[in-house]
Chain A
Amino acid sequence: MALARRSSNLLKPLSTASSSSSFLNRRPFSTDDSTTITIETSVPFTGHNCEPPSRSVDTTPKELMNFFTDMALMRRMEIAADSLYKSKLIRGFCHLYDGQEAVSIGMEAAITKKDCIITAYRDHCIFLGRGGTLLESFSELMGRQAGCSRGKGGSMHFYKKDACFFGGHGIVGAQVPLGCGLAFAQKYRKEDHVTFAMYGDGAANQGQLFEALNMAALWDLPAILVCENNHYGMGTAEWRAAKSPSYYKRGDYVPGLKVDGMDAFAVKQACKFAKEHALKNGPIILEMDTYRYHGHSMSDPGSTYRTRDEISGVRQERDPIERIRKLILAHDLATEKELKDIEKLARKEVDEAIAKAKESPMPDDPELFTNVYRKGFGVESFGTDRKEVRATLP
């Protein structure tokens, strides 16, 4: 939408594909959609009360390239957000997703925009995966009118209703019953779609999760609970918070699958499997074994409760983007330089989006009073000094 098309003559001449599973609007790489490449996931899946899917995943060169490009963009966006926060252009809370990109990317590759996603506050990349733009993202983070919530929500409250992305939630665990509610509506309306309710290992112990899961199972709701286990609930390691950190087993009678969340293809396979299951048999839990490089939020250095060696070790051994890079090079779909150019381009796009977002104005004062209700019946609302500022809610 807002981003200009870029063509590159450094790249192999390739056919343009009309349907792109990537959310990026300009594709310097439009690759082969017909050749099948079979990838083995890093590790086999572990099933709980279910037969796990095969670890052989089919993909195409186009999908592989898209994975790389999209994750590179997500990574860049989060790193740029870090800088913006430090320059005080982003205020309040900012929870970054870098390291976890494969979960969003793999999930999107397996589902449609009619399937619902709901998550907690680490939502910037999920928003991008659902088709949100960098401009909407950065504008929202900086509290500007061009933001996806017009500057009124902030980092934790991104939404994209037209792509069935229902936020963006600040209270740990609350999004899981909400997700089951989305699934309830999907079943009520006899849709052929599912809901992915995402939560972290910290939220996995929340009582409301089990309440909602019980009902989802009782009523055969097409709900897929996705635990993004990055092993730390803020500063508390999983083993200090959960008697059983086998989150994929916590559903008891609800089947579960343990997935390498740093492997986009494992995620894709698992989500495909889960969607098929949920439409026939009700809820299933996916535990994505993943990792966040940043601390819990920008106010958390992330190094008081884990070692720098651990963080760099994961970056070295399991980085999701590196994994795809190696696959692309192994299958000779692009050269090292071309991949580096993609990353440079991602950086450029991010910088441009930030520059444009900075131009977007702050919300006008009357926006204080908009959207309190969908239908306000002309009721009065008040500012801080009720005799000085009052408004009529439409």
Chain B
Amino acid sequence: MWGIIKQKLGARGLSAPVFGDCMHRLRPMASAIRRYSSATKQMTVRDALNSALDEEMAADSDVFLMGEEVGEYQGAYKISKGLLDKYGSERVVDTPITEAGFTGIGVGAAYHGLKPVVEFMTFNFAMQAIDQIINSAAKTNYMSAGKINVPIVFRGPNGPAAGVGAQHSQCYGAWYGSVPGLKVLVPYSSEDARGLLKAAIRDPDPVVFLENEMLYGESFPVSTEALDSSFSLPIGKAKIEREGKDVTITAFSKMVGYALKAAEILEKEGINAEVINLRSIRPLDRATINASVRKTNRLVTVEEGFPQHGVGAEICATVVEDSFNYLDTPVERIAGADVPTPYAANLERLAFPQIEDVVRAAKRTCCRSVPMAANV
């Protein structure tokens, strides 16, 4: 039995539904299979996104991709490489540089039942289209009393890259996260990218899918389960990347990597940090976050976006509201600096969280250092 299963896993020649069924029936054994097979593949986030798009487009002919340079150019960041050749120009649509227009067109197509994936070259450019995202996509199911749902995905890189300056570095997690009617996802690893993008495309509601340019080239191990085309991750569930008992560190996207590195450093100093990969800003997994803080009694939130009204602010509020008596020390927020992003390399470094910021804040919650507010 095990031999046959291993073969099936290895061959990948089965049709998706059959394979999916096998996996489903074998779910209790899934962990055994994983330990048994050493087939943990490495995959870049870029390939993860590409394969997710590919599989979802193969599975559902209503899914199409539109955006600047997604077709002939193979994608500004090569996320959509090969898709034009495979699916043709009706399903991989190169648009002019007109975000307000093509976003509106995408939302309209979704009204009529298609499943657009609208790519923004970065979410900075999506500001030209934000009326369509909020007023035309997010609110329509509500305003129509459920008659018109909007199964659209808005995706693209979000947040800072490297030296791209003030107009190209903003994180929009907090803005979109505040809007009811939207779902906002923030993948970190390749498994996140695959599972969450597939879930987003299948979801009947508008999803804002915030990627990160710096993560595209990073490789992560992906389980065999994650490689399956029926794979998806639940929306609204955070993942505990690293279990710990002394302090809860919440992060999303690139900052998860920073939080994990900070946790390693803290470990050496005897502080055992629990790192939560949010995966979803809206819905925010308040249950997981609160359960964690009730265990550790300390909280550090990490994000690249501006601090005021940020994602961390909401997390802190939620924890203070729901788990006040469990907090041993004040909540800590690490965020981008409260300034437009400077270009110069040294200033840019000061403008975005570094691993040492996370370490310092975590230590403060553990009363390991005296907080100093340096007046610059």
**A392-B338 Cα distance, complex, nearest whole Å:** 11
Given the known interface contacts A143-B345, A387-B332, the answer about A172 and B125 at a Cβ–Cβ threshold of 8 Å is: yes
Interface of A is mostly: loop
Tell me the nearest residue of chain A to B342, going by C-beta. A152
Q: Is the CB of A206 within 8 A of B98?
A: yes
Contact of A390 with B374 in the complex, beta carbons under 8 Å: yes
Task: Output the least CB separation between A212 and chain B (Å).
Answer: 14
B125 contacts A171, C-beta separation under 8 Å:
yes
A202 vs B97: C-alpha distance when bound (angstroms): 6
**Residues in A neighbouring B361, C-beta threshold 8 A:** 385, 387
Of chain B, the residue at the smallest CB distance from A304 is: B73
Say yes or no for B11: interface residue by CB 8 A criterion. Answer: no
Q: Which of the 9-residue segments B175-183, B239-247, B318-326, B351-359 touches chain A?
A: B351-359
Q: Which residue of A lies closest to B351 (CB)?
A: A368
Contacts of A130 in B (CB 8 A): none
Chain A residues, CB < 8 A from B161: 92
Interface-side segment among A70-78, A230-238, A251-259: A230-238
What residue in chain B is nearest A383 (Cβ atoms)? B337
Q: Does B344 sit within 8 A of A, measured CB to CB?
A: yes
The residue that A385 contacts in the complex, of B73, B357, B375, with Cβ under 8 A, is B357
Residues of A within 8 A of B164 (CB): 92-93, 154
Q: Are A390 and B163 in contact (CB under 8 A)?
A: no
A372 at the interface (CB under 8 A from B): yes
Q: Which residues does chain B contribute within 8 Å of A384, judged by CB atoms?
A: 334-337, 350-354, 357
B342 cross-chain contacts in A, Cβ below 8 A: 151-152, 363, 367-368
Q: How many residues of A contact B (CB 8 A)?
A: 54
How close is B120's CB to chain A, nearest CB, in angstroms? 12
Those of A7-27 within 8 Å (CB) of chain B = none
Task: Digitize A227-264: 1 where CB-to-B-CB distance is under 8 Å, 0 elsewhere.
Answer: 00000011110001110000000000000000000000
| B357 near A234: Cβ-Cβ < 8 Å | no
Per a CB cutoff under 8 Å, which of A208, A362, A390 touches B373? A390
Contact check, A202 vs B339: say whether CB atoms are below 8 A apart. no
The answer to the question of A105 belonging to the interface, with a C-beta cut-off of 8 Å to chain B, is no
Residue of B nearest to A94 (CB): B163
Residue B144 CB within 8 A of the other chain: no
A169 at interface, CB cutoff 8 A: yes
CB neighbours (8 Å) of B220 from chain A are none
Is B58 an interface residue, CB under 8 A from the partner? no
Within 8 A of B (CB), among A168-213: 169-173, 202-203, 205-208
Chain A residues in 8 Å Cβ range of B307: 382, 386
Does chain B have a CB within 8 A of A62?
no
Contact A205-B167, Cβ < 8 Å, known A91-B162, A144-B344, A384-B350: no
A164 within 8 A of B: no
How far is it, in angstroms, between the C-alpha of A240 and the C-alpha of B127 when the chains are bound?
A: 24
Q: What residues on B are CB-neighbors of A149 within 8 Å?
A: 343
Q: A180 to B10, alpha carbons, bound, how many Å? A: 63
CB distance from A392 to the nearest CB of B (A): 7
| A390 lies within 8 A of B339 (CB) | no
Say yes or no: B168 contacts A369, CB within 8 Å.
no
Listed residue (B124, B340, B350, B376) with the most chain A CB atoms within 10 angstroms of its CB? B376
Q: What is the bound-complex CA distance between A304 and B78, given in angstroms?
A: 13
A323 to B52, CA, bound (A): 52
Q: How far is the CA of A156 from the CA of B99 in the complex (A)?
A: 20
Q: Which residues of chain B in 95-152 are interfacial with respect to chain A, using CB atoms and an 8 Å cutoff? A: 96-98, 100-101, 124-125, 127-128
CA separation between A382 and B361, bound complex, in Å?
14
In Å, the complex CA distance between A390 and B337 comes to 9
Residue of A149, A173, A236, A305 most packed against chain B (CB within 10 A) = A236
**Which residues of A have CB within 8 Å of B205?**
none
Taking the nearest CB of chain A, how far is it from the CB of B298, in angstroms?
Answer: 14
Contact residue among B101, B163, B347 (Cβ-Cβ distance under 8 Å from A363): B347
Contact with A along B295-333 (1 / 0, CB 8 A): 000000000000100000000000000000000000011
- Contact present for B336 and A236 (CB under 8 Å): no
Residues in B whose Cβ lies below 8 Å from that of A157? 165-167, 343
B376 contacts which of A202, A236, A372, A389 (Cβ < 8 Å)? A389
Which residues does chain A contribute within 8 Å of B76, judged by CB atoms? 234
Known: A91-B163, A157-B166, A391-B375. A152 touches B347 (CB 8 A): yes
Judge whether B100 and A235 touch: CB under 8 Å: no
Tell me which residues across on chain B come within 8 A of A208, comparing CB atoms. 100, 128
Check A93–B165 contact: CB distance below 8 A.
Answer: yes
Cα-based distance from A157 to B333 in the complex (angstroms): 31
A372 near B340 with CB under 8 A, answer yes
Q: Contacts A171-B124, A385-B357; is A152 near B343 (CB within 8 Å)?
A: yes
> Are A387 and B371 closer than 8 Å at their CB atoms?
yes
A241 B344 Cβ-Cβ under 8 A? no
Q: Is B94 an interface residue (CB 8 A)?
A: yes
Collect the chain B residues with CB atoms within 8 Å of residue A363's CB: 342, 344, 346-347
A186 → chain B closest CB, angstroms: 25
Q: Chain A residues near B351: list those with CB within 8 A.
A: 368, 384
**30 A-B residue contacts at CB 8 Å?**
A91-B343, A92-B161, A92-B163, A143-B344, A151-B343, A154-B163, A171-B167, A172-B125, A202-B96, A202-B97, A206-B97, A234-B73, A235-B69, A236-B94, A241-B97, A304-B73, A362-B347, A365-B350, A368-B347, A368-B376, A381-B338, A382-B338, A385-B357, A385-B361, A387-B371, A388-B360, A388-B372, A389-B337, A389-B350, A389-B374
Task: Other than A172-B125, A391-B375, give 17 A-B pairs with Cβ distance below 8 A.
Answer: A91-B162, A93-B165, A93-B168, A140-B343, A143-B346, A154-B163, A154-B165, A154-B343, A170-B165, A170-B167, A171-B125, A171-B167, A202-B97, A363-B346, A368-B337, A383-B338, A383-B350
Q: Which residues of B contact A (CB under 8 A)?
A: 68-69, 72-73, 76, 94, 96-98, 100-101, 124-125, 127-128, 161-168, 307, 332-340, 342-347, 350-354, 357, 360-361, 364, 371-376
